[in-house]
């Protein structure tokens, strides 16, 4: 099983601050996805990155896939209370079954007004 | 479109009871999967299916059965519930698995006493 380590596990910040959360592994992934989950709901896909070194932007969110495709980061600029939620990264195995996604344990972000 | 529909939303079982968690999708997705989410453990894959009549085990399959008789439905059966199966269960689907966007249901919160 390929493991994904997310850090930090918890993050509480004030509105307007910037933050970065990390997703790291010793294994190579074919692709990596970021999801956001709100209480009582299922995760919702934010982005998929597939190329080493790839950077994608979604409004105030910037996602980067590491050159070696073993790690990824999510940077939020000027966080807002609406960004509060559990952020999960998920990697597609590069070997064996292509159908399985491995999820990290998540970063629980709280943005205080 | 309804997307991915899970029922029930909440369930309480006694140890040893059996039950079936229902999952249906109306997006004509070939790939369907079941995850469990536990505090501090992230999302773990239980079983998945790449099409009608085809199922395979995920990371934590013991104590659970699945079948896929139609493209739309993918029920998860607990044969003899145990307290260790207390968790939130999510069904998810995508067009073909892998790096495709996963659509999640809103979850079933199960407590086994």
Position with higher pLDDT, A29 vs B36? B36
Residue B66 has pLDDT above 60, yes or no: yes
Q: What is the pLDDT of residue B41?
A: 83
Residue A96 has pLDDT above 70, yes or no: no
Residue B86 and residue B103: Cα distance in Å, rounded? 23
Q: What is the pLDDT of residue A90?
A: 94
- Chain B residues at the A interface, defined by Cβ less than 8 Å, are 4, 31, 35, 40-45, 48, 50, 56, 58-59, 90, 92, 97-99, 101-102, 104-107
Position with higher pLDDT, B1 vs B109? B109
pLDDT in tens, A21-54: 999 999 898 899 999 999 999 999 999 999 999 9
Q: Between A45, A98, A105, which is nearest B102 by CB?
A: A45
Q: How confident is the model at residue B40 (pLDDT cuts 50, 70, 90)?
A: confident
Contacts of A95 (CB under 8 A, 6+ apart): none
The size of the A-B interface in CB pairs under 8 A is 62
Is the separation of the CB atoms in A3 and A24 below 8 Å? Answer: no
pLDDT in tens, A53-85: 999 999 999 999 999 999 999 999 999 999 999
Contacts of B92 in chain A (CB under 8 A): 42
Contacts of A100-104 with C-beta under 8 Å, sequence gap 24+, read A100/B45, A100/B48, A100/B58, A100/B59, A101/A33, A101/B45, A101/B102, A102/A1, A102/A2, A102/A3, A102/A4, A102/B45, A103/A4, A103/B35, A103/B42, A103/B43, A103/B44, A104/A4, A104/A5, A104/A6, A104/A23, A104/B42
Residue A92 has pLDDT above 90, yes or no: no
Q: What is the pLDDT of residue B2?
A: 79
CB contact under 8 A, A31 and B98: yes
Closest CA to A42 of B39, B102, B19, B96: B102
Residue A99 has pLDDT above 90, yes or no: no
Contacts of B40 in chain A (CB under 8 A): 105
Residue B36 has pLDDT above 90, yes or no: yes
Q: What is the pLDDT of residue B14?
A: 97
CB contact under 8 A, A48 and B99: yes
pLDDT in tens, B14-29: 999 999 999 999 999 9
Smallest CA–CA distance, residue B8 to chain A, in Å, is 13
Q: What is the pLDDT of residue B96?
A: 82
Residue written as token pair 């896929």? B68
Give the residue from B32, B99, B104, B105 with the most A CB atoms within 10 Å of its CB, the best one to mutate.
Answer: B99
Mean pLDDT of A103-112: 96
């Amino acid at each position: 099983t390929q493991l994904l380590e997310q850090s930090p596990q918890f993050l509480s910040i004030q509105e307007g601050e910037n933050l970065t959360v990390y997703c790291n592994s010793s294994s190579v992934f074919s692709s990596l996805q970021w999801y956001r989950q709100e209480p009582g709901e299922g995760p919702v896909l934010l982005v998929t990155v597939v190329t080493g070194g790839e950077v994608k932007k979604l409004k105030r969110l910037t996602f980067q896939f590491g050159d070696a495709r073993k790690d990824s980061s999510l940077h939020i600029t000027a966080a807002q209370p609406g960004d509060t939620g559990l952020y999960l990264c998920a990697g597609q195995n590069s070997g064996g079954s292509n159908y399985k996604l491995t999820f990290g344990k998540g970063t629980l972000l709280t943005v205080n007004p | 479109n309804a997307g991915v529909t899970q029922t029930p939303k909440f369930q309480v079982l006694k140890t040893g009871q059996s039950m079936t968690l229902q999952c249906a999708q109306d997006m004509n997705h070939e790939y369907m999967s079941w995850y469990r989410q536990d505090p501090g453990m992230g999302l773990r894959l239980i079983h998945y299916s790449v099409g009608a009549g085809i199922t395979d085990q995920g990371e934590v399959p013991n104590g659970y059965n699945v079948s896929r008789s139609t493209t739309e439905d993918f029920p998860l059966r607990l044969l003899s519930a145990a307290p260790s199966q207390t968790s939130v269960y999510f069904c998810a689907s995508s067009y073909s698995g892998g790096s495709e966007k996963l659509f999640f249901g809103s979850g079933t919160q199960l407590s086994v006493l």
